[in-house]
Amino acid sequence: EDQVTQSPEALRLQEGESSSLNCSYTVSGLRGLFWYRQDPGKGPEFLFTLYSAGEEKEKERLKATLTKKESFLHITAPKPEDSATYLCAEETSGSRLTFGEGTQLTVNP
């Protein structure tokens, strides 16, 4: 069964304090690993798609990496506006996305 596990569940950082979020996924039939940002009351906003181990993608203060069993979302020098829930999802056959429970990030000024 496809399963995605994210850690930690919640993370509090001070502004400028870099950290990483973890996403573990099942390896059977992976077609893509997605990262989304979700703000309260809104739908998920697409950040990155990673397809193969060793791949990395960056956008502003965010960098996503992928290994054979995990993905990391690195946040460098975060700002309060980076506060949100970050979701990862595994795409498998039939264009199904299986989401993790998310990491709720709070960045304090």
Q: Applying CB under 8 A, which residues contact another protein?
A: 32, 34, 36, 41-46, 48-49, 87, 89, 94-102
Q: How far is the CB of 23 from another protein (least distance, A)?
A: 12
- Cβ neighbours for 14, distance < 8 A, ≥ 6 positions apart: 107, 108
- Residue 19's CB is within 10 A of a number of other CB atoms, namely 16
SS3 content of the chain, % helix, strand, coil (to 5): 5, 60, 35
Q: How far is the CB of 42 from another protein (least distance, A)?
A: 6
Rounded-to-integer distance, Cα 32 and Cα 109, Å:
34
Task: Pick between residue 75 and residue 87 the one whose CB is nearest to another protein.
Answer: 87
Q: How far is the CB of 1 from another protein (least distance, A)?
A: 10
Task: Pick between residue 14 and residue 46 the one whose CB is nearest to another protein.
Answer: 46
